[in-house]
Structure 1
Amino acid sequence: MPSKINDEWVWQSSQINTLLEKAAVKLGELNSFARLVPNIDLFIRLHVTKEAVVSSRIEGTQTNMYEAVLPERDILPEHRNDWREVQNYIAAMNQAVYELAALPLSSRLLKKTHAILLNNVRGEHKLPGEFRTSQNWIGGHSLADATFIPPHHRYVEELMGDLENFLHNPDIQVPALIRIAIAHYQFETIHPFLDGNGRIGRLLITLFLVSEGILEKPLLYLSSYFEKNKGLYYDNLMVVRNKSDMLQWLKYFLVGIEQTATLAARTLSRILELKASIERDLQTQFGRRGVSAQILLNALFQEPVIVSIEEVQKICGLSYKAANDLVAAMCQHGILQETTGQSRNRVFVFSAYMAVFED
């Protein structure tokens, strides 16, 4: 049974203050960078897709970035369950960010997000959109050999109400990054759902940063940081549970914010360099096709896979032949890559853009 968190928090460690400052500076740089990037919404989709892939992979799915951007018909039947889980995560994230305009970050919003996450996938019988009404556990095959046993289900509503109040309490002087670090720990310890707690708990971090205006766009995700050494992530959570040592968890979390914000800004920088380089090629080498090529390029930054020439026709307003010739030219210049090796049902990938997110 975790202690409630809706209270003042103080610490004596000067290291926390230093790490907090570094993390805040890097987040500010990422936010400023995002403001400077023209058409930043073009690039949000693949950020969200990568987060969905990595966050779902922590839970055992095997879908990769390439599969995640393909339509379901092009996914091998044995991979479709994993693919659907990733797609649900993308839909849940996008809907939750949209809902923040009208709903506060709350149990209600998390339940709505959870319902999307578990819709028609393996956890669909585990109360989608509802807090659990039975005991759960982490690790092991039963309560007898579990690694961790969350609080009894009768306390879930009370604990989640306390967590929600903590996130929004204006009367306590707790910096936002400390607040969400503590809230993420508490959420994972409450484990309020029967399934999907890890994904919703990681999503909570990004939603909080957006809801507080710390980030204007959902560009920061800690799943890659947590996944890099999953054992360390779980160990730091358990240190709080077993020894009431919140300081170690805060240090780990703030380092994650700093490192992840730095990498996110670097990714945006590489995208801009790639975009500028390709646009120079379009201007000098595509002649009359340059305008259509630019339109298609902008579309590729949102959806980096083309599965039919008809799709290009619609995007660019071209005849079938002109669209086919444009795709052929973009393949010739290395912008698109045909991945099937077939003459029919071809799939074209904006591989240089995908590579930025696969590093």
Structure 2
Amino acid sequence: MTTTGATPVANDWPAHTFDVRPWRQSSPRGPRVDRLRREVTVALPPLIAELDYPMDRSLGAMVAACAGDLGHLDLVHGRTLAALNHLQLRTEAVDSSKIENVDASLADYGRALLGVGANASAVSMASATAALSRMIRDADTTRRLSPEAMLQAHHDLFRRNADEAHRAGRFRTTQNWVGGSDYAPRGALHVPPPPETVPDYLDDLFAFCNRDDLPPVVQVAIAHAQFESIHPFIDGNGRIGRTLIHAILRRRRATRHLTVPIASALVSHRDTYFAALNDYRSGNARTIVAMMATAIRIATAESWATATNVLAIRDRWGAALPDARPGDSLFRLLDLLAEEPILNVDLAARRLGLDEDAASQAMDAATTAGVLTRARRTRKAPVWLAHDVLDEVEDLSARIQASARQLRG
């Protein structure tokens, strides 16, 4: 039995339809009403591989303007300021995790990146960074979006999670749902399509992602919303779905070097973001397209400020260590710290091509000058922090969120 979903006033996209399927709870736990449930109503997204999205004039102008701003930032700073991309990438991974209520301090996050011990939330955030990096790198290299790259990214996201490692890098083979009961899809906010339909839906989605005839901002908004509707994993759909945004932007060459922290704008309006995804399911894609364009525009504008601030920080460090000369180990360490504000001797030695004694000497000099600070509670595995850059990472996220709230306030 199939019925058509509710149609909103501004219907500009095929709405999801719904189908009633047999259901039996696999777990003996949970309330009796869940155990007795025998049916579930699943949402069936439209197939979108060949669909076009007609924009009205105002939305078209918004999409074109944000794409132009993004391209300009990438052109001016992308090639020459590698530190900016590293900071953006980590800001994006951190705030994408926060949307899923995963949070940790930047210091713990840095320790997790170094693999020297951190709490579970920090490890999860570090894993999200690895997943995001992989998806972007693969799209940049192959100029294609593929299920294989997505599965590798999902594996990166969960391989260090003891509870989910057995499902890392695997599409779901069981029914899942969003919200409601933990044991059955009673009261669920969204019930994705049945597991046997996921491969065909993903084939359709990747065909859409690999098109070149759509504005990139429209393409990423719709692809992201479609992915979230398919919900092809048991866990991690939100974070992998947001990596898809950046992978498409890189494949389309809307960005060539940078990863603007779009999630930082979305995290400030989680409810509005989730409502935009629900609008998409109801047949209104405009909400998510407009929200994505706005998020990109805000993240791009604040990233300009961060580029200026990073250059100023590097100048201050140079003034604090006037004996550092281009090409020597201390000078190169200062350049590295703009990209890697949390590091240990091993990382510094590997990245600078030094032995550990030489790397340690350079780090000691930077510590004496106040550029580096040794992190607390890291006696057994020492870690150093460049607080100037870490403060800028936090400030970039805060500025984007404040701008997003002000714009929507």
**Is TM more than 0.5 here?**
yes
Match for 2:300 among 235, 254, 261? Answer: 261
The match for 1:50 is: 91
Partner of residue 98, structure 1 = 137
Confirm or deny: 8 A CA contact 1:132 1:153 kept in the other structure. Answer: yes
Q: Indicate the residue corresponding to 1:221 in structure 2.
A: 261
Partner deviation per Cα, 1:265-321 (whole Å, 9 max, x = no partner): 2222211221123224433xx37899432122122223223445x77677485895x
Structure 1 distance, partners of 2:276, 2:326, is: 55
Contact 1:6 1:162 in 2 (8 A): yes
Residue in 1 that maps onto 2:31: none
SS in 1 for 2:167: coil
- Superposition pairs of residues 64-103 of structure 1, within 5 angstroms: 64-70=105-111, 71-75=114-118, 79=119, 81-100=120-139, 101-102=141-142
Question: Contact 1:53/1:64 (CA < 8 Å) preserved in 2?
Answer: no
1:334 partner SS: coil
Matched, 1:232 2:272: yes
- Verify: 1:192 aligned to 2:214, yes or no: no
1:107 deviates by 1.9
1:85–1:325 Cα change, 3 Å:
closer
**CA distance, structure 2, for counterparts of residue 232 and residue 175 of structure 1:** 23
Note the C-alpha offset of 1:201. Answer: 0.4
**Distance 1:247-1:342 versus aligned 2 partners, 3 A rule:** closer
For residues 278 and 196 of structure 1, what CA distance do their matches in structure 2 show? 39
1:212 aligns with 2:252: yes
Q: 1:108 and 1:342 mapped to 2: Cα distance?
A: 38
Q: Does 1:148 align with 2:148?
A: no
Q: Is the 8 A contact 2:84 2:306 kept in 1?
A: no
Q: Which amino acid counterpart does residue 304 of structure 1 have in structure 2?
A: P
The 5-angstrom pairing of residues 128-139 of structure 1 reads 128-139=168-179
Q: CA RMSD in A?
A: 2.8
Q: Which residue of 2 aligns with 1:294?
A: 331
2:19: which partner in 1?
A: none
Distance 1:214 1:351 in 2: 32
The residue that corresponds to 2:207 in the other structure is: 165
Contact 1:103 1:109 in 2 (8 A): no
Opposite residue 221 of structure 1, the aligned amino acid is P
> For residue 148 of structure 2, what is the aligned residue in structure 1?
108
Aligned twin of 1:9 = 52
User: Match of 1:279, as an amino acid?
Assistant: G
Q: 2:372 maps to what in 1?
A: 336
Segments of structure 1 that go 5 or more residues without pairing to the other structure are: none
Which has a greater percent of helix?
1
Deviation at 1:160, TM superposition (A): 1.3
Q: 1:287 to 1:46 in 2, by over 3 A?
A: closer
Q: 2:291 aligns with which of 246, 252, 256?
A: 252
Identity of aligned residues (%): 24
Looking at structure 1, the residues matched to 256 and 102 of structure 2 have their Cα atoms a distance apart, in angstroms, of 30
Scaled by the length of structure 2, the TM-score of the pair is 0.76
Aligned to 2:387: 351
Give structure 2 stretches of 5+ with no counterpart. Answer: 1-43, 396-409
Q: 1:135 to 1:126 in 2, by over 3 A?
A: farther
TM-score (norm 1): 0.86
Partners of 2:217 and 2:137 lie apart in 1 by 22
Q: What is the CA–CA distance in structure 1 between the aligned matches of 2:380 and 2:192, rounded to whole Å?
A: 53
Structure 1 letter corresponding to 2:330: A
Task: Name the CA distance, whole Å, in 2 between partners of 1:82 and 1:11.
Answer: 41
Secondary structure at 1:73 match in 2: coil
Number of positions where the alignment pairs a residue of Structure 1 with one of Structure 2: 346
| Closer, same or farther: CA 200–344 of 1 in aligned 2, 3 Å | closer
Instruction: Report the Cα distance in structure 2 between the residues aligned to 1:136 and 1:269, rounded to whole angstroms.
Output: 45
Q: How far is the alpha carbon of 1:89 from its aligned partner?
A: 1.8
Measured at CA, do residues 134 and 248 of structure 1 come closer, stay the same or move farther in structure 2, by a change above 3 Å? same
Q: CA deviation at 1:128?
A: 2.2
Q: State whether residues 225 and 256 of structure 1, in contact with CA within 8 Å, keep that contact through their aligned partners in structure 2.
A: yes
Contact 2:135-2:243 within 8 A present in 1 as well: no
Residues 1:288 and 1:169: Cα distance change in structure 2 (over 3 Å):
closer
